[in-house]
Amino acid sequence: MLPSHPLLTKIQNRTARVVVIGAGYVGLPLLVELARAGYSATGYDKDPEKVSLLNKGQSYIGDIPTEVLAPLVESGHLRASSDPDVLRAADAVIVCVPTPLNKTKEPDMRFIVSAAGEIAKAQHKDMLVVLESTTYPGTTREVLIPKLTSGFELGKDIFIAFSPERVDPGNVKWGIKNTPKVIGGATPACSEIALALYGSIIDTVVPVSSTDAAEMVKLLENTFRAVNIGLVNEIALMSRKLGIDVWEVIDAAASKPFGFMKFQPGPGLGGHCIPIDPLYLSWRMRTLKYEARFIELADAINSNMPREVVVLVQEALNKRRKAANGSRVLVVGVAYKRDVSDFRESPAFDVISGLEHLGAHVDYLDPHVPELQEGELTLKSVPLDVAYGEYDAVVIVTDHRAIDYTRLLREAKLVVDTRDALRHIEGDRAKVVRL
């Protein structure tokens, strides 16, 4: 369709200069893949600490080893900057900024709007701009395109697309390169250029017909997870009331080779995606006077799980004639999932504050999170060789592999296990309470 477009030629011969706005959990792995493919890749980030570390070749993201990053920085393929001027020389700009919720659980679009404003100031002819941040359907069309098309013709001298990120922190099997990437351009020419760029660094690209469709793909994926986790959490609560072991039920159901997909209950959702993204969709639907019922219900069930955990601890202590008030509790694992250091939106915060609200003295142990800071809460992890027996209860919130569960079970007086982490550990089961 665009056989001789100069941007396509630059992509084909890897002379395209690519700037990624936001060198975080999503942006950094992408920068690495671009640099590996031979592009000149620049991370533009407002955080001077990330920029400084990156330029020294030091990684700050668990999935990207410094040994992988450093040679790319040394060879000059990868660099970082806090200066928006780097955007002026860019042939392609990929936006990977945060999309959080505000206090009333509504989309906080500040970062996308500010990135779009910076691109507009540096914009020139023959530029590709791709948004990767998860957002509500219509964002690229309504927020990005109007800012980038004054004096530029869409699909002719400015190319815009949306391509949802599918980073799964801690996943050693599926990384950027082998995870298929969905791409929706604002026009066929926009799609073609975006597909060419991503097709040069990712094994499989999946075109969809529009930026709205690509935005909706991501929300379907994450809503699917949030709803199924909500369902299995409710099955866990119901099983408990019925005196049934939910973990046994799930395992047996998972023996069905078709029509069932295994999800596990837990202390609640965490991370930057699953607890947040579906609410972008339900917010969008509210503006159209439509209530996204599955999303709201799953959010209500999942958000309540930390409270269920607190009640479980309280009841278990009570059975041992011990009040939560004044008791010592150790929370094991505060990252939102196994073997990662990311504690954004972690249910551990609500578990800790819920227990403290009851008067318990709470410590935490997390080898991946030496210090925990959110709002007024600042805590330091106890060491890995902590004496579990000094606590009235140990609550497993995240089942990191670095924990010695055999010793934990041997020493602890009482364990509330929200992840079934002790399933295969031999010892005194009478002191274990599961979700």
Q: Which residues pair with 433 in a beta bridge?
A: 416
Q: Which stretch binds ligand NAD (CB under 6 A): 19-27, 140-148, 260-268, 307-315?
A: 19-27
Q: Residue 91 in contact with residue 16, Cβ under 8 Å?
A: yes
Using CA atoms in the order 299, 303, 309, 314, what is the torsion angle rounded to 10 degrees? -130
In the complex, least distance from residue 356 CB atom to ligand NAD, rounded to whole angstroms: 27
Tokens in use for 400?
A: 């990191």
Q: Residue 111 in contact with residue 99, Cβ under 8 Å?
A: yes
Phi and psi, residue 338, nearest 5°: -55, 135
In the complex, least distance from residue 128 CB atom to ligand NAD, rounded to whole angstroms: 18
Tokens in use for 371?
A: 């210090």
In the complex, least distance from residue 114 CB atom to ligand NAD, rounded to whole angstroms: 4
Among 25, 247, 263, 343, which residue interacts with ligand NAD (rule: CB under 6 A)?
A: 25
Q: Residue 284 in contact with residue 138, Cβ under 8 Å?
A: yes
Q: Which stretch binds ligand NAD (CB under 6 A): 17-25, 283-291, 398-406, 409-417?
A: 17-25
The residue (of 273 and 415) whose beta carbon lies closer to ligand NAD is 273
Catalytic residue among 95, 273, 330, 369: 273
Phi and psi, residue 407, nearest 5°: -65, -40
The residue (of 251 and 374) whose beta carbon lies closer to ligand NAD is 374
Applying the rule CB under 6 A, the residues between 261 and 320 that interact with ligand NAD are 272-273
Residues binding ligand NAD: what is the number (CB under 6 A)?
26
Order of all β-strands in the sheet with 361-365: 361-365, 328-332, 393-396, 415-417, 432-434
Closest by CA position to 316, among listed 190, 415, 426:
415
Among 5, 50, 79, 419, which residue interacts with ligand NAD (rule: CB under 6 A)?
A: 50
The residue (of 96 and 393) whose beta carbon lies closer to ligand NAD is 96
Spell out, one character per residue from 95 to 114, where the chain touches ligand NAD: x when CB under 6 A holds, - when not: -xxxx-----------x--x
Q: Residue 416 in contact with residue 221, Cβ under 8 Å?
A: no
Applying the rule CB under 6 A, the residues between 161 and 200 that interact with ligand NAD are 165, 167, 169
Q: Residue 194 in contact with residue 225, Cβ under 8 Å?
A: no
The residue (of 312 and 340) whose beta carbon lies closer to ligand NAD is 340
Q: Which stretch binds ligand NAD (CB under 6 A): 51-59, 91-99, 196-204, 395-403?
A: 91-99
Q: Which stretch binds ligand NAD (CB under 6 A): 40-48, 227-235, 311-319, 397-405?
A: 40-48
Among 7, 11, 18, 45, which residue interacts with ligand NAD (rule: CB under 6 A)?
A: 45
The residue (of 176 and 348) whose beta carbon lies closer to ligand NAD is 176
In the complex, least distance from residue 429 CB atom to ligand NAD, rounded to whole angstroms: 35
Kindly state whether residue 24 participates in binding ligand NAD, applying the rule CB under 6 A: yes
Q: Which stretch binds ligand NAD (CB under 6 A): 90-98, 262-270, 360-368, 372-380?
A: 90-98
Question: Is 273 assigned a catalytic role?
Answer: yes
Nearest-5° angle of CA 279, CA 186, CA 81? Answer: 75
- By CB under 6 A, name the binding residues for ligand NAD: 21-27, 44-47, 50, 96-99, 111, 114-115, 133-134, 165, 167, 169, 272-273
Which residues carry out catalysis?
A: 273
